[in-house]
Structure 1
Amino acid sequence: MDKSEKKKLSETDICDLFITPAIKNAGWDPIRQIRREVTLSPGPVVVRGNMSSRNKKKKKFADYVLAWEPGVPVAVVEAKANDHTVSQGLQQALGYAEILQVPSAFSSNGDAFASHNKVPATGEEIETQLPLDQFPPPPTLWQRYKTYRNIEDASDDLLLQPYHFDATEKEPRYYQVEAINRVIEAVAKGNRRMLLVMATGTGKTYTTFQIIWRLWQARAVKRVLFLVDRNILADQTLVNDFKPFGSVMTKVKNRKIDPAYEIHLALYQAITGPDEADKIFKSVTPDFFDMVVIDECHRGSAAEDSDWHEILNYFSGAIQLGLTATPRETKYVSNISYFGEPIYTYSLKQGIQDGFLAPYKVVRIDIDKDIRGWTPPPGMVDDLGQAIEHRTYNQKDMDRILVLNQRTKLVAKRVMQLLRATDPFSKTIIFCEDIDHAERMRKAIVNAAGQLAIDNAKYVMRITGDSPEGKAELDNFIDPENPFPVIATTSDLLTTGVDAKTCKLIVLDKTIHSMTTFKQIIGRGTRIDEDNNKWFFTIMDFKKATKLFADPEFDGEPVVIYEPDDDDPPVPPDPKPDDDDDGTIEDPGPGIQKFVVNGVPVSIIAERVEYYGPDGDLITESYRDFTRKQIHQEFTSLDEFLARWNAAEKKQAIIDLLEEHGIILENLAEEVGKDFGDFDLICHIAFDQPPLTRKERANNVKKRNYFTKYGEQVRAVLAALLDKYADEGIRTLENAKVLKMKPFSDMGTPMEIINTVFGGKANYDNAIAELEKELFINTEQRA
């Protein structure tokens, strides 16, 4: 092919005609080993106001991922059109190689391959250029991968054990693949204790299933114990992620471990306890289980003085895998001291930046009596006749020692105000100080909800460990298909282990000092649920708990500290449960005297909204400010914008470009005004131009007698198109399907209008282009 012709080819043509054939000719199987156009991450969701959109500019998208076997990536290839140099895409490829933790990165423009090798042999260059017919064959890159990851040849059979896939499953995400492969490789190297740190909502249980499945299928393990500390966790695992194990899997019941099964799901509390008779795990020999997986291991399973720790010691010969979203490192409890450094970490921050987890906005609310304090008059008694200790009470006392009923009502009113302004049926969790507070908050929400609570008695439910009625509604609360309950008031029960993926509002009216607890609570909202339009969540904070976001520990590396952590003491064993109970009973704080007082007025004295920023920090920024910044990244001046707008064959291309930055102009119109078109929204927000409504722009064109150069039929079509623009905007004007609608359908079919009235498609397109030009000429320019 002539070089000048080759330069005219698209990137896709270069792939199809040159790059893919070269890779296939090197021996790569196009079905099993070559994956094209692989989305590694979809790009982060941006939240401003009540609007959200993806920033597709930050999408990570590899042109080729090469795998030795499915699920075992070894190299990436970045393609460019031929008007780029051979190595133009190499830095991009290296970024993807870093994500996938592979040593080989390539770039090509169809002339040759630029190669980067992270493990060159002695005397070899790190970067070289290879002819198209010399792309490395699979064995070469597989051996390079094993060298890079320090894998012995004898481990191949275990490492290449297939994943479990069926037609209904999505492929594992890149970080899940990396976590799975890290554990399999560690097992192959003889490691017996491992820790996986993965943020809530990133699929720890699915990842664990694939690990166990591959080890079990390879017969590296035969019997596995999967330990959880919430009944709902075991039940969810049984029917969801672990379902493929089928008849070889059981949940430990009736305080008996049945040796007829191979995969055992069990509550800690169901197999151990303070008395020797409770320790039913000892009914099997220490070598009975080949692998023990400890879910949510931050909650005490690694504490030296915990009864649960005895299980791990008893099965000390088994492979032990700890799972957590929040590594817990204190004087008393250390995951790292027990399991060693995490074998892999995927943090909340990384999950949000990749776009797999939902970002958040924070509404921080200060109440006068919390901030300024309240001092009762001397000799005052509370509603129960108790003498109130004469001192100043402030935020840390509220609902722990002092109950101001007007404060509870104010919080409930503000929560309902936010829900009514957004969606009163958004799943909401309100975290309270204790069970008593949760019940009073339930009552206050009922009264604040009014007709909503009258229409459905389960609009709000208290879901706490002591309430059978509330706990019975837990499955309904987390079920996206079930609208009720909408609001759950709780204290501790819903902090962990509840997959409430449609939760859009988390209310903090609870004093929180423990970083572990805080991370777990935030994790209740981090799941994205596209099917139910859940892209972000809101945190409404009445107790300054969200100050913990500013702590470097929130999303930093865990370290072991050697000072007592008074806010986060060792976790005691739960009381012995019934077989169908979680054993989760919340302590309402017996022995703590509370003063309950009516009639003390309270008010909100400050409120501010902050958003999750691009660097993970909370920022105060409106949707307007965000839009202005993003537009300025593409268009440095009004003149540059006008030039590119006028030069665009389709204005939709400009709109699509802005959407890649996370700007949805319909969202902006919600704030600025729905009567303004895309052009005026951009010019007004980014460049401070006075906006004209669509109708004003259309009328200006009509006033200028612009149509006089056309015949009567053309004028009728263009006038109708102007009216469509005034009503619906530029997208309608540029879509030929508009000609199927009234009044155009009364004038003829689209083909008749284009060919008979305008004399062909080219003439029609030119007329539309001229009409757009007239629309966006400013009156002062026209003069």
Structure 2
Amino acid sequence: MEAKRNIYTVGEGMQQALMYAEMLDIPFAFSSNGDAFLLHDRTGTLGKVEEEISLDRFPSPDFLWQKYCEWKGLDEGRQKIVTQNYYTDHRKALRYYQRIAINRTVEAIAKGQDRILLVMATGTGKTLTAFQIIWRLWKAGVKKRILFLADRNILVDQTKINDFKHFGKAMTKIKNREAEKSYEIYLSLYQAVSGTEEEKNIYKQFSPDFFDLVIVDECHRGSAAEDSAWREILEYFTSATQIGLTATPKETKDVSNIHYFGEPIYTYSLKQGIEDGFLAPYRVVRIDLDKDLVGWRPEKGKTDKYGKTVEDRIYNQKDYDRDLVLEKRTELVARKVSDFLKANDRFDKTIVFCENIDHAERMRKALVNENPDLAGENRKYVMRITGDNQEGKAELDNFINPESRYPVIATTSKLMSTGVDAQTCKLIVLDKRIQSMTEFKQIIGRGTRINEDYGKFYFTIMDFKKATELFADPDFDGEPVEIYDFDGGNGPGSPWEGEGETGREKYFVDDVGVEVVTERTQYYGPDGKLITESLKDYTRKTVLKDFESLDSFLKHWNEAEKKQAILKELEERGVLLDALSEEVGKDFDPFDLICHVAFDRPPLSRKERAERVKKGDYFSKYGEQAQEVLDTLLDKYADDGIENLENMSVLKVQPFDRIGTPMEIVKLFGGKNSYLAAVRGLESQLYTTDASLLET
């Protein structure tokens, strides 16, 4: 329902309502100006597509539900399934796209569809979505035994203790190759139920019809190949409804998710997630090295550090860290990563993706040498986390735990490229060649989580191998398209493919210098493409599109009831204020950042603005306790910014709790409206000098 003021026509808001209805997967849209309603029927069941109706003829919920079921083809039996409630957890309220994915899946299963593909970007809650699908079908009695399959132990364990924990004693994890048959919800690694030897195929201890629902997490991996051992599990339980979950459906001439599961019934992309504010935007620091750009050829008779004669040919980026190691190149990459962290925050969680395990180990060593102080304080400051290393793998949970400080930097090759929920990862370093769009999306997905509690609103990609050129590929955020060649060759084997070495002679050269040729920073733009100009230039250009002068910006700023609304508008246009503060200064208000960058005004720090207000007489018209509240609000502003003034929840935290409860504090001002008026007055005082410029 889009309501407009009475000066507009009844249908003025219809196009806006239809945009929302399409996004939210809602069948009926309404527009009104208070005189009547305009109804738009997307189902085709009402006779007319659009009809104006009087205020007293608004359709009842029962009538709309009847038409919805008619549209969806839901008879009485199917309705009982689709109306089964969600598991209610107020700590994890479902987002609109998760509801759409769940509803479409439950409806499809109610109507008998037995192969389903859901495509949801990394960080958008695929596991929570899977839990709610299972919960509703399980509680409705439609699916009684469910198997959830993943190919990483950490994925299974995370799922069991987090989103799936509400299944309680009805759930088990298959392990030790024992098939307990008294549970209803089974979680398992592919590897735990299958093997090359027949006796290791534990899944065959279950009858083919034991499970009536199988959910395949990260289905773009091993199960996507027709001839894989893992596909045999799915084919064994062929009578079960099977759901594939992935952020990156695999579509090559040899492998196809769509060929097996069918076209996705719902897709929620990385671009959409960023636009909606659920996923973190990114900036790219692209660093090109001389030996990468022009290659390196050894002089005649050149030997490596171990005395082996280096084969005479031109080596380039595809050879480094596979056939040839330039140790000074590794050291330079480690130095650039360390310099970046030192310029920002040395405890920002960082993942460095390397070519292979050997490269990951050498990178670990180089990073330790670049950070001897912090690595000396705690040996876990830098850790290699790879599939072959038990000590590193044991620290994976600590790396992804926002409350755990160590490890800070993780070097890896394949292990952390998918399924690792690293909520606070702020820096992703690409020092490996990435030829697969699937792998690229998965790696980028390690940084897309937002965690407001830990100040994670965007992340940085530091690229040494031109991998971010894939952002320019039209397929980067496009719809999945089936390109499977039915007569193609063999699909890929192990999901660990690429962890090892090439098998050829490998040279280690420690006396060849490597230098940076170019370095540039790019930002994620509002159109989903990278902004190639500097953030300052982009900010200036964006602000000047809306405000032709400082006066017009000041007028808009001071008239705005909530400053956060202006800042949100700018961020939607691609202005990353957090990133801008790192370039200009972290002590400045967003207002000062904008005025400085766009209009060349000297910025004032938040502390300077707060102190200026405290020296004035604004407090004098309030009582002593109310003055204490305002003084504390100014301190919060000086420390953390304008959002603390405009959010009443700040009254729940220290040190306000020493003054009283939020209700008691509001009463000090004579009520909520008076409190909010006092806050607006405080904001006005913060920018009063700037407002006075309008008169000069």
TM-score range, shorter chain: 0.7 to 0.9
Q: Which residue of 2 aligns with 1:73?
A: none
Moved more, 624-633 or 171-180: 624-633
Q: Which amino acid aligns with 1:620?
A: T
Moved more, 108-117 or 360-369: 108-117
Q: Distance in 2 between matches of 1:176 and 1:533?
A: 24
Q: 1:376-412: per-residue Cα shift (whole Å, max 9, x none)?
A: 1101111111110111111111111111111111000
Q: Distance in 2 between matches of 1:188 and 1:404?
A: 59
Q: Distance in 1 between matches of 2:122 and 2:204?
A: 32
Helix, strand or coil at the partner of 2:286: strand
* 2:199 aligned residue (277, 296, 307): 277
Q: 1:767 deviation in Å? A: 14
Q: Which residue of 1 aligns with 2:128?
A: 206
C-alpha contact (below 8 Å) 1:228/1:295 kept by paired residues: yes
Q: Which residue of 2 aligns with 1:31?
A: none
Say whether residues 1:98 and 2:22 are aligned partners. yes
Q: 1:123-168: per-residue Cα shift (whole Å, max 9, x none)?
A: x4322222222110012111222234343443110010111113x4
Say whether residues 1:571 and 2:492 are aligned partners. yes
Within 5 Å, give how 1:651-670 maps onto structure 2.
656-662=565-571
Within 5 Å, give how 1:476-625 maps onto structure 2.
476-561=398-483, 570-573=491-494, 587-589=499-501, 591-625=503-537
Q: Which amino acid aligns with 2:335?
A: K
Q: Which residue of 2 aligns with 1:154?
A: 77
C-alpha contact (below 8 Å) 1:103/1:144 kept by paired residues: no
Moved more, 277-286 or 86-95: 86-95
Q: 1:87 deviation in Å? A: 3.0
Q: Distance in 1 between matches of 2:134 and 2:181?
A: 18
Distance 1:414 1:774, change over 3 A: closer
Q: 1:332 deviation in Å? A: 1.7
Within 5 Å, give how 1:46-85 maps onto structure 2.
77-85=1-9
Q: Which residue of 2 aligns with 1:119?
A: 43
C-alpha contact (below 8 Å) 2:344/2:582 kept by paired residues: no
Distance 1:653 1:249, change over 3 A: closer
Unaligned 5+ runs, structure 1: 1-76, 575-583, 702-706, 715-720, 736-753, 755-761
C-alpha contact (below 8 Å) 2:522/2:534 kept by paired residues: no
Q: Which residue of 2 aligns with 1:628?
A: 540
Cα root mean square deviation, aligned: 3.6
Q: Distance in 1 between matches of 2:52 and 2:237?
A: 53
Q: 1:691 deviation in Å? A: 5.2
Q: Which amino acid aligns with 2:286?
A: R
C-alpha contact (below 8 Å) 1:226/1:264 kept by paired residues: yes
TM-score by length of 2: 0.84
Within 5 Å, give how 1:431-450 maps onto structure 2.
431-450=353-372
Q: Which residue of 2 aligns with 1:342?
A: 264
Distance 1:115 1:594, change over 3 A: same
* 2:308 aligned residue (386, 410, 428): 386
Q: Which residue of 2 aligns with 1:408?
A: 330
Q: Which residue of 1 aligns with 2:66?
A: 143
Unaligned 5+ runs, structure 2: 622-630, 647-668, 670-676
Q: 1:34-90: per-residue Cα shift (whole Å, max 9, x none)?
A: xxxxxxxxxxxxxxxxxxxxxxxxxxxxxxxxxxxxxxxxxxx22334454433332
Q: Distance in 1 between matches of 2:180 and 2:14?
A: 55
Q: Distance in 2 between matches of 1:435 and 1:667?
A: 33
For the pair shown, the structure with the greater C-alpha radius of gyration is: 1
C-alpha contact (below 8 Å) 1:308/1:573 kept by paired residues: no
Distance 1:402 1:670, change over 3 A: closer
* 1:328 aligned residue (232, 250, 274): 250
Helix, strand or coil at the partner of 2:92: coil
Helix, strand or coil at the partner of 2:420: coil
Distance 1:78 1:778, change over 3 A: closer
Q: Which residue of 1 aligns with 2:277?
A: 355
Helix, strand or coil at the partner of 1:297: coil
Q: Which residue of 1 aligns with 2:626?
A: none
Helix, strand or coil at the partner of 1:523: helix
Q: Distance in 1 between matches of 2:138 and 2:467?
A: 43
Q: Distance in 1 between matches of 2:433 and 2:580?
A: 36
C-alpha contact (below 8 Å) 2:122/2:442 kept by paired residues: yes
Q: Distance in 2 between matches of 1:361 and 1:766?
A: 37
Q: Distance in 1 between matches of 2:461 and 2:487?
A: 26
Q: 1:100 deviation in Å? A: 1.4
Q: Which residue of 2 aligns with 1:55?
A: none
Q: Which residue of 2 aligns with 1:74?
A: none
C-alpha contact (below 8 Å) 1:117/1:127 kept by paired residues: yes
Within 5 Å, give how 1:197-236 maps onto structure 2.
197-236=119-158
* 2:343 aligned residue (421, 426, 431): 421
* 1:254 aligned residue (155, 161, 176): 176
Q: Which residue of 2 aligns with 1:163?
A: 86
Q: Which amino acid aligns with 2:20?
A: Y
TM-score by length of 1: 0.75
Q: 1:109 deviation in Å? A: 3.5
Q: 1:565 deviation in Å? A: 13
C-alpha contact (below 8 Å) 2:30/2:39 kept by paired residues: yes
Q: 1:121 deviation in Å? A: 4.5
Identify which of structures 1 and 2 has the higher relative contact order when contacts are C-alpha pairs closer than 8 Å and 6+ apart.
1
Q: Distance in 2 between matches of 1:767 and 1:436?
A: 58
Q: 1:184-217: per-residue Cα shift (whole Å, max 9, x none)?
A: 1111111111111111111111101111111111
Distance 1:315 1:481, change over 3 A: same
* 2:296 aligned residue (374, 382, 397): 374
